[in-house]
Amino acid sequence: MTSISSVNNAALLILQQTSSSSVANDNDQTAADKITAIVNGVSGETSPVKTQASSTINSALLDVKEKEESTVQAALDYLDSDLFQSSDPTVKDTLKKLISENGSEFALKVKMQQSKNSGISLENAIAIALTETINGNRDKFTVDEIVVGFKLPGGGGLISNIADINGNSTQQSLMDNLKEQRESYISAAAALHGSSETSDPETLKSISAALNGNTFSGELAALESWNNKWREAFGF
């Protein structure tokens, strides 16, 4: 009788061999053809073991394929729902085309997000993967900046600003302005008070004067206004 351990060893050997260049570079072979060749070529086990090992790997490959197809279909359904919004109407169709043509690559992006962020929802992982897909295929989209919105089923949403072809992004510019002004405020507060944490009216007036009447509240309001504008436009 063939032991389970023998089958598993044979299957492990075959899985290791699938990564070798002699097999992986042969684009004319199907996955099943490659497995058959490997089983017959590298396993020193008896024929029943070879058959069981091949069956085990075929089952594993089928499971991976089904999971990839499920993730791809979930992404396509997401794009067709009101959960996805974009400032450019051509973005949706371009994303659907890219995902359909590179399903395995997209499914891997989603899987990596789920692995890195414990408890992340599938929709959230898909949203991040969609943004990565746009950035990774920037030349396939409009040369102008793109704003995309992802409404999450549990409530709330994500707004992402993809820079234009020259790297300019309104959202990033607003964030840079906020960061720069906040750092100026903290420096002025530290010089006058020893800390940026103060509610003393006279000290705040001195800090404001040092910044020519500017605190980072204006920059913060500008960023919030930009985000709110797109949330309203997308119905979030």
Please answer whether residues 185 and 197 qualify as being in contact, where contact means their C-beta atoms are separated by less than 8 angstroms.
Answer: no
- Angle at Cα 56 formed by Cα 110 and Cα 116, nearest 5°? 20
Q: Position of tokens 């930009």?
A: 226
Find the mean pLDDT for residues 119-123. Answer: 88
User: Pick the residue with more confidence: 116 or 17?
Assistant: 116
Mean pLDDT of 172-197: 77
| Structure confidence at residue 154 (pLDDT) | 74
Residue owning tokens 């992340």: 120
Which DSSP string do the residues of 175-214 spell out, in sequence order? HHHHHHHHHHHHHHHHHHHSSS----HHHHHHHHHHTTT-
Single pTM value for the model: 0.63
Measured at the CA of 186, the angle between CA 183 and CA 190, to 5 degrees, comes to: 140
